[in-house]
Amino acid sequence: MKYKWLNQGVNIERNNKLILFFNGWGMDECIVKHLEPEDYDVLMFYDYNTLETDFDFESLNIYPEKNIIAWSMGVMISAYLIPSLALPLGEGKCTAINGTLKHIDEEYGIHPKIYDLTIKGFNEKGRKRFIDSMFNESIDINCNREIDEQHSELIALKNYQADETFKYNKVLISDNDKIIPTKSQVAFWGIEPNLKSGHCPFFNFTKWSELL
């Protein structure tokens, strides 16, 4: 698992509030780099080929407030990692966006047959088709992830399973999600869609705080 600071104050200018962003499969910061951090430090995790990392999570205890924003496969990943880390969140919030804790599932996630077909047929054309399907409209994004790395990440994600006792206190569901079907998310969370968007809703927002 890789990580990258998208915003980080230093010394006396250090922010007291942190957002841990768990990105979705195959992505980097290209879909969120436009979001204004305001007075939040923002740390992104991505590339789940392995969940091993050299990041020192104890170093985050300097933040009185730690928030989680998880999107797509990141919803399952954060619910897998955070309980095992015993990371105290304080008064922080946890937001799940267009994902469930059963990421590959006939009823509550991506249908296993569709997921396996995606792995089998993944190539440049398949990647473009996937990215186009993330949005309701045509949007150009410049993701700097290698296709072989994305393919192996798809395979690796089959090996992870969320801790289903993990609680999110805010759930955002797009009304036209073609990746993790809207109806599957509604069935899992028991709420109706509350975003007018495709699978990737971040261009509907201008600030990270709007997602908390």
State the pTM of this model: 0.95
Alpha-carbon distance 77 to 75, whole Å?
6
User: At 60, which amino acid appears?
Assistant: L
Residue with tokens 């937001």: 95
CA angle 152/156/160 to nearest 5° reads: 165
Kindly tell me the burial class for residue 84, based on how many C-beta atoms sit within 10 Å of its own C-beta (0-12, 13-18, 19 or more): exposed
* CB hemisphere CA count around 71 (13 angstroms): 27
Alpha-carbon distance 175 to 166, whole Å?
24
pLDDT tens by residue, 27-83: 999 999 999 999 999 999 999 999 999 999 999 999 999 999 999 999 999 999 998
Give the pLDDT confidence score for residue 70 in this predicted structure: 98
Question: What is the pLDDT confidence band of residue 186, given thresholds at 50, 70 and 90?
Answer: very high
Please say whether the beta carbons of 67 and 93 come within 8 A.
yes
